[in-house]
A and B are shown apart, each in its own frame.
Chain A
Amino acid sequence: MNYIFHILVMLEIYILLALSANQKVGLSGLLSLAQAVFYGSGAYAAAITITKFGFSYWLALPVAILISIIAALLFSFVAGKVRELYFSLATLALQIIFFSLAYNWIPVTNGTYGISGISNPEIFGLKINTPASFAVFGAVWVLLVILFYVWFLKTPISRLIQATRDDQIAVLSLGKNPNYYKRISIMLSAVIAGIAGTLYATYTTYIDPSSFTLDESILILSIVLIGGAGRIIGPITGAVIYILLPELLKFLQMPDSIAANMRMILFGLLLVLIVRFKPKGLFGKYLIQ
């Protein structure tokens, strides 16, 4: 039973990551290859404040969000300078620089040894330290983010963010600054990914740089593109496919030694086929053209 709850927790973390990436890719049209930077910033901020300064989860959370926002400001600067492919390449560079920092800045991140002993969250003295309780805790976060998006997508600011994605010149002609809306979108994306990072760090109680690589960023982006960008249902579907795919392979009695590779092959193939034949993804609204 614990295994099912573990799968559920990972699904919730990936849903949050996919929704955060959807904010940038689907709503702002910014194809970022560095979502793991925000994820990692949140996770490291939580891990460091909890283990080195003795913060509780609820004190570590705002710090993690703040650090993610600071990282987002750097990305906003990049988004203001370059567009399309060059934005993607700049984010790719930022992702690799972040990984180098996490790997080499040993006094802060402990390098390859990572940070262990990250304590679990507590609510009203109740420790969230089992997969079942974490699954409920994660579900609350997912629900909050989904409810936020149900509201946010109807707001004028969301429409202006999407207008910036579709036609920057039109937004400029309305007297609005497109970079301002990109900045808001990137910050929002960073906050949600940062929350996912705090969940991951406190759930696994250990983090190291290998969880925040370029591969992870590509994976998060793929989840959004397969599910479909621009809607809430798309990223959720992508995350469900990614998490449940290995379970399906287990059902087919595929040995563990090849199941991991087969999962990535199927996921990669699905990405190529989606791009080739259904560029909007399974349930997407926005076509990256």
Chain B
Amino acid sequence: MWDQIRSNRRRSIFVVTGLGVLLAVMGVALGMLFGGGDPAAVFIGGAIALAVWLVMWMVSLSNGDDIMLSIAGAREIEKKDHPQLVNIVEEMTIASQLGKPPRIFIVDDPAPNAFAVGRKQDKAAVAVTTGLLGMMNRDELQGVVAHELAHIKNRDVALMTTAGIMLGAIVLLAEIGGRALWYGGAARRSRSSSNNNNNAWVVVIAIVVIVLTPILAQLMYFALSRRREYLADASGALFTRYPEGLASALEKLGGGQVAQADKSKVTAPMYIVRPLADDEKRQLSASFSTHPPLDRRIRILRKMGGNASYDSYNTAFKSVQGGAGVIGARSLTGEAVATVKPEPDSSTPRQRTRVASDAFLSASGYERRECSACGAIHKIPPELRGRLKNCTRCKAPL
């Protein structure tokens, strides 16, 4: 497992370096555009690109996790709010050998989804939507939680944040360059008409670079993101020893065509499946996407057979996708472990949804009171706490 993390870190460093080079190229192109081939201007352009990235990175360091959680509208829960979810997270914490369990959040959203944040392992958090809790049985929920904890364990959050910020910086610089060209181009052209011949080429090259670099950077970013999703699936299957749990969870996620409230592009790569827009159908084979197609992820998990190990995931990956596999060769030596059979789960989606939404309300500060006279259950919002004296149905004192 440690080798797996190490070999992937190397590959990820490669991608991040590549993005850094693209960022520098972007800066140089801007320098060429404004300075017209002057070496000093080219250098300054590169420096500005680096500065933009540094500033964005510093901003993200200060409390990015909490910003992410509040964008999604997540509330932190305790054991009493949703014992099963807390138990499952604790189980997967033990299985993944994380030092301590992450904080657990619930998002009140009928669209089933889950995500993990936390640049440091001991300050990580997982969040699941009430829709997910309602839809999944215990084994499937375990699979989803295992996938999220695998993201934390493999340090994907830190990686994707870094890569995402670089992508953001590149896109931002391209925007600036494009606008400068649009509004300021004519004035500069008339001013420097004397050595026009030489500069024309420089400007053309700069424009081509400015147009192409963001596209290339996005492709790299998406490829990296998809790869980390596959890896999280593999680790998740290994943690639970039960690939079918995650497979059937993904199947249900693919079937659930509910638009999600949180459609922020910033948080999109964090989720276990890409959040849907209002009028969008979940496409099973989107190539320009942060996530691999669901049906392929499911088929790989189901092909793993009776063994849970990186080796069997890799073999399954190759037979579904072709190519060299998704996991570094060094980590394929781990012992294969037999998978387990599930137990029947008698809870219904309706019950689970009620439990989930109660957990969210309780985490939001709602108070639960049962009327001793008629048995009506009151969920009292925090602003009415202490002001609701009588039962709303039978008027008996609460």
Say if A and B assemble together: no
**B interface vs A, CB < 8 Å?**
none
**A interface vs B, CB < 8 Å?**
none
